[in-house]
Chain A
Amino acid sequence: MAELTLHQTVFALTISLVAFVFVLELVRRRRLREEYSWLWLLTAGAMVLLAVWYRLLILITRIVGAVTPLNTLLLCAVLFLFAIAVHYSMIISRLASQVKNLAQELALLSARVERHE
């Protein structure tokens, strides 16, 4: 388990690069706002890094005390998904509060406009 075969490395690297480029492309086309893209770019970047530098994954596995590199990967995946979900909840909370304030503002302003008509 010390090294990946060339076959495995190419496969892992291809997937990681596609993910990274896909996120960049979304940002370029303005389909994804820059401020929301950083967590995805971080995730894709980490995937690329681990694909080309497998020993890093083995080192992390030793540090956290996981049994196999696969456990480390799964742990990372779960943590990233958790971070992204919390990130979204924060954004949604802010949006909900903004929508509420906008709706109130709209209601108050249209009441004033109707009075002046």
Chain B
Amino acid sequence: MKPLVLLPAFNEAARIGRVLAGIRAAAPEAAVLVVDDGSTDETAAVARAAGAHVVRLPFNLGAGVAAQTGYKFAIRAGYDCVVHLDSDGQHEPADIPALLAVIARREADVAIGSRFLGAADYRPGALRRTGMGMFGLLTWLLTGERYSDVTSGFRAFGGDVVRFVATEWYPTDYADADVLITLRRAGYRLKEVPVRMYARAGGRSMHAGLRPVYYVFKMLLSVALAPLRREVFERKGS
């Protein structure tokens, strides 16, 4: 297996160095790619100095598009497994091998890092917990399966999945629970793995303002259109 660790980054120069050092210590055999999503600070230089591959988007396109750029890179460079984690230090690099192991042993096509499984001690605030509960419920309605952490961005994809998420089917505009639902719908096997996550040290949250409203709308649309899209998903492999 040839794994790639993928970190989309937007103005994370201050924090990404420590994350990259953590990755090197935890998974020294894995290549690391930082996709700089149009940062205006020294993110790319810091990443390059730490020995990571760096791909710079010409302007800010959002975390989903940045991640997809990384999947396209992985396909072209011949990587057959991609671990995605945040560049701001929320995700513990020491848990990367646990996600990789799921893909390597072919237990599943997608390994999702869950902060609520096992010995995790993550305690979100009330608002965030409500949001997560809502997304969890929607995911359950759409897939018929329970996942403990549907908004987790800490996950590993096997080769087939990487090829799938590099197509236009990848929901780039709000890429957490929707990715999980899309992949489940497309017939991939998902498995949750306990990981550690930390609260953000400042900065903006993904789930603030009107975004949850838009998210629910998108999910409802997804339910309504699912029967019409089924054939397309079934052709995913070709």
Chain A residues within CB distance 8 Å of chain B: 97, 100, 103-104, 106-108, 110-111
Binds A, one of B55-63, B92-100, B102-110, B226-234: B55-63
Shortest beta-carbon distance from B39 to chain A in Å: 12
- B residues in contact with A110, CB < 8 Å: 56
- A residues in contact with B76, CB < 8 Å: 108
- A residues in contact with B146, CB < 8 Å: none
Chain B interface size band reads 10 to 19
Chain A interface secondary structure, helix, strand, loop or mixed?
Answer: helix
Chain B interface secondary structure, helix, strand, loop or mixed?
Answer: mixed
Are B172 and A100 in contact, CB atoms less than 8 angstroms apart?
Answer: yes
Instruction: State whether the Cβ of B72 lies closer than 8 Å to any Cβ in chain A.
Output: yes
Shortest beta-carbon distance from B31 to chain A in Å: 13
Instruction: State whether the Cβ of B69 lies closer than 8 Å to any Cβ in chain A.
Output: yes
Are A111 and B72 in contact, CB atoms less than 8 angstroms apart?
Answer: no
Q: B residues 43-92 with Cβ under 8 Å of A?
A: 53-59, 61, 65, 68-69, 72-73, 76
Shortest beta-carbon distance from B217 to chain A in Å: 16
Choose from B59, B69, B168 the contact partner of A108 (Cβ within 8 Å): B69
Complex CA gap A42/B76 in Å reads 46
Q: B residues 135-168 with Cβ under 8 Å of A?
A: 168
* A-B pair number, CB within 8 angstroms: 32
Choose from B53, B54, B57 the contact partner of A104 (Cβ within 8 Å): B57
Are B55 and A107 in contact, CB atoms less than 8 angstroms apart?
Answer: yes
With known contacts A100-B65, A111-B53, A106–B168 Cβ distance under 8 A: no
- B residues in contact with A97, CB < 8 Å: 168
Closest 8 CB pairs of A and B: A111-B55, A104-B69, A107-B57, A107-B55, A103-B58, A103-B57, A100-B65, A107-B56
Complex CA gap A98/B53 in Å reads 25
Complex CA gap A59/B35 in Å reads 62
Complex CA gap A110/B58 in Å reads 10
Are B56 and A104 in contact, CB atoms less than 8 angstroms apart?
Answer: no
Q: Which of A106, A107, A110, A111 has the most CB of B within 10 A?
A: A107
Are B59 and A107 in contact, CB atoms less than 8 angstroms apart?
Answer: no
With known contacts A110-B56, A111-B55, A104–B168 Cβ distance under 8 A: no
Complex CA gap A79/B76 in Å reads 47
Complex CA gap A97/B59 in Å reads 14
Are A108 and B73 in contact, CB atoms less than 8 angstroms apart?
Answer: yes
User: Which residue on chain B has the smallest CB distance to residue A114?
Assistant: B54
Are A111 and B61 in contact, CB atoms less than 8 angstroms apart?
Answer: no
